[in-house]
Amino acid sequence: MGAVKLLFIGDITGQPGRRAVRVILPRLRLRHGLDWVVANGENSAGGAGITPGTAAEIFEAGVDVITSGDHLWDQKEVMELLDKEPRFLRPLNYPADVPGRGSGVFEKPGKRPLAVMNLQGRTFIAAHDNPFLAAPAEARALRQKTPCLLVDMHAEATSEKIALGRLLDGWASAVVGTHTHVQTADEQIFPGGTAFLCDAGFTGPHDSVLGREVEPVIRRFLTGMPQRFEIAKGRILLQGALIEVDEETGRALSIQRISEPLPPEEISPAS
């Protein structure tokens, strides 16, 4: 029985997150024999949005597909990615006339094709079309092309993520949540064979408040006044999930959380 080995990387945040991917991902690829790497990159440009430049850096580091979420529109340059880069996905449940695409089937020599779907929740987050209505039909269509399907459910509410995972149990190989930047400890395989993790965490500086410098966030809570939330610098981690999938059935065989530190000597503010 052959297995497809996937790595999903949680929200890449700013320059520290991009640095972690550049340094740590090649090591993980060798250590685990990875076939595919998917990463959420919606916070890669200064912690808010994504640009063609930051996307290129992430692809060059070894990521095969980049997903996004509610910060998709924070950088105007994203339109170039949506128009020209098929490896970049925006949430499927945006209105039909929004540029870009919400899913794709990706191929490379010697590997089982991988389908990826990007969804965005609606609870405590910007509302779009109902992901629970959009996801099942898209999953069935993608499974006609490959048994291996990874879903990034970008959402705030844990209940919404879990319910979506349960809905797709048996259709998706894995459903992994993003957005909250806090890695959860609920990795499991549902009865139908779908691996699930409520949140993959984030890739970036963890001596922080969700990747931002601590003091301005505290001042905002104390005073209610606007603050400038700069990206923090300390204790940089690459977080995500390693998933093994049966290449014939698409059922998950295992799921494991990862939280890999960037050694302090490899932190380079100028890079």
Catalytic residues: 71
> Longest Cα pair distance anywhere in the chain, in angstroms?
59
- Measured between alpha carbons, how far is 124 from 137 in angstroms, rounded to an integer? 25
Q: Would you say the C-alpha torsion 260, 178, 134, 175 has a positive or negative sign?
A: positive
Cβ burial of 124 (10 Å; 0-12, 13-18, 19+) is: exposed
> What amino acid occupies position 90?
R
- Measured between alpha carbons, how far is 194 from 50 in angstroms, rounded to an integer? 29
Picking from 21, 18, 17, the residue whose alpha carbon sits closest to that of residue 29 is 21
Picking from 99, 100, 134, 97, the residue whose alpha carbon sits closest to that of residue 119 is 134
Q: Which helix (H) or strand (E) holds 195?
A: strand 195-197
Asked whether 93 and 129 are in contact (CB, 8 A), the reply is: yes
DSSP classification of residue 38: E
Q: How many residues does the chain have?
A: 271
Asked whether 58 and 12 are in contact (CB, 8 A), the reply is: yes
CA distances from 167 to 126, 153, 159, 161, 163 (A): 22, 12, 12, 10, 6
CA dihedral angle for residue 179, residue 64, residue 18, residue 174, rounded to 10 degrees: 30
